[in-house]
């Protein structure tokens, strides 16, 4: 993908590194709760914890064609300001880790993002500290950040993307 081209697909986003993804995320549009609905295809993109070298290359290859159990997310808007969803895994045969959605302040800058909150009583303890957020980079294409919430601070762990096409 040319450096000046705007990403239009999951594959376009997968060509970008963590720094480029963060710049793109910060310039993206904040979606409304109702903008994300139904079954969206998902793809893990990169991790800021592995920016370069063999580990980064392995993660990129694994996300592109490896046995990745995560298939995407299904969103259900419930009202103008809130919704819910679930992760689809193992070839869409299982739905795991429910989340609630709402628009709120981003952890990546002075703007809002669609928040995905996993701190729900029916989720296992190791999922509850995950805080995802997404912004729209093109029509039907969303870039997401997955954070681990700790007592000291939120740590960005993974960039992911969702697409309705």
Reported in sequence order, the residue ranges of 90-164 that DSSP labels E, i.e. its strands, are 94-105, 112-117, 130-138, 141-149, 154-163
Residue ranges covered by each domain of the chain: 10-163
Model pLDDT, residue 1: 52
Residue with tokens 């950040």: 145
The encoded tokens of residue 75 equal 């969103």
The predicted-structure confidence for 5-17, as pLDDT tens digits, reads as follows 799 999 999 999 9
Model pLDDT, residue 44: 92
The predicted-structure confidence for 30-86, as pLDDT tens digits, reads as follows 999 999 999 999 999 988 876 555 555 555 555 555 556 889 999 999 999 999 999
Model pLDDT, residue 52: 52
Confidence band of 151 (pLDDT split at 50, 70, 90): confident
Model pLDDT, residue 63: 52
Model pLDDT, residue 77: 98
Residue with tokens 């960005």: 156
The whole-model pTM stands at 0.87
CATH number, domain 10-163, options 1.10.10, 3.40.30, 1.10.3470, 2.40.128: 2.40.128
The answer for residues whose C-beta is within 8 angstroms of residue 165's C-beta and 6 or more apart is 140, 141
Rounded to an integer, what distance in angstroms lies between the CA atom of residue 77 and that of residue 109?
A: 25
């Amino acid at each position: 993908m040319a450096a000046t081209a705007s990403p239009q697909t999951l594959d376009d986003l997968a060509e970008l590194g963590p720094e480029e993804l963060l710049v793109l995320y910060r310039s993206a549009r904040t979606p409304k709760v109702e903008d994300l609905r139904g079954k969206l295809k998902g793809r893990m993109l990169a991790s800021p914890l592995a920016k370069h070298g063999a580990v980064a290359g392995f993660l990129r290859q694994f996300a592109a064609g490896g046995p990745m159990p995560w298939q995407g997310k299904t969103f259900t808007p419930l009202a103008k300001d809130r919704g819910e969803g679930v992760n689809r895994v193992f070839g869409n045969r299982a739905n795991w880790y429910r989340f609630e959605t709402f628009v709120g302040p981003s952890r990546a800058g002075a703007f809002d993002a669609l928040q995905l909150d996993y701190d729900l009583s029916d989720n296992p303890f190791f999922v509850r500290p995950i805080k995802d957020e997404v912004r729209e980079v093109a029509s039907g294409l969303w870039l997401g950040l997955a954070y681990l919430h700790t007592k000291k601070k939120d740590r960005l762990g993974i960039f992911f993307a969702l697409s309705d096409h």
